[in-house]
Copies of this chain bind each other. A is one copy, B any other.
Amino acid sequence: MYISNQHKCFGGFNKSFSEAKFVLFGVPFDSTASYRPGSRFGPAAIREASANIETWSWRNNMDFEDVKIHDVGDISIVHGDCLETIKRIKETVEEIHSYGKIPIMIGGEHTITLGAIRGLRDVAIISFDAHFDMRDEYLSNKLSHACVMRRILEELGNERLIIVGARATYKEEIEYVKENNIFYITSHEINSSSHIDIISKLRDYFKNVNKIYVSIDMDVLDPSNAPGVSNPEPEGISTSILLNILEGICDGRIVGFDVVEISPPYDNGITSVIASKIIYEMCCFITSKSTSS
């Protein structure tokens, strides 16, 4: 038979679990979305897009087809039950990590990052996000997308967390951030600096850290680049800048990463394409760095 199922897994092909360096899974969960729900459709949209863009990485001079990645599919989440869903993510990440592999999580709302952090433990996090997500509680909910970095902060401590690309906040939150000496770089600063300087600052702050997790909330990008997100905010950064910064911070210390908050019902397809590209490039960065070192 002439059977082709290229859209079923990320990138259109699947290495075996055992030979994989990266293990990707989706988390179609958006129960706490307050503005533009639909990130539950993110994993499917990203896989679809990923099978339709080209695979060559100019930054790495290699082809994504040579990356050792295995897509296990989606986690069976529980709509409306954040606690249980986070627990399942934690266990999944834990298991992938126990095999010495790098988990890649595609969301889904940002809350799910808490599960990944709990599964990896003892890591530092760089979160690319238009928002601080540092509310103690949002719309009566402590496990909301708007609180996820506050929860992570409580687990990791504020010297192991960086927010990059922040620009959307409110009075109480920005006061909290400043009082607690949370390290952040606004999009305004990025847009008026060289990406080299931004990279230096980030590497310097985490110079003593051994394990880094990278979380990419797609709303860190400008809405012109990434319209299909749950909470769009103007004055973001461009795709090229984001990729340049990611290139600068990726080294052998990366133990996992995620791409979250894409809301396909509000997308024209571009946001999913860029999410796929980011994952392609992240895999190539990490592969190149570990090969070269």
Contact = CB atoms under 8 A, between A and B. Distances in A.
A171 B56 CA distance: 6
Contacts of A265: 265
Interface in A59-98: 63, 65-66, 72-82, 84, 88, 91-92, 95-96
Contacts of A3: 25, 72-76, 92
Interface stretch (A208-216, A234-242, A253-261): A234-242
Nearest to A81: B141
B37 A37 contact: yes
A268 B227 contact: yes
B270 A223 contact: yes
Contact of A5 (B37, B58, B74, B95): B74
Given A5-B74, A170-B54, A170-B65, A34 B79 contact: yes
Interface in A251-276: 265-270, 273-274
Interface residues of A, number: 84
Contact of A52 (B34, B72, B140, B169): B34
B75 A1 contact: yes
B169 A54 contact: yes
B1 A25 contact: yes
Contacts of A222: 224
Interface string A160-172: 0000000111110
Contact of A54 (B55, B233, B267): B233
Nearest to A38: B37
A4 B75 contact: yes
A32 interface: yes
A266 B230 CA distance: 18
A287 interface: no
A49 B96 CA distance: 31
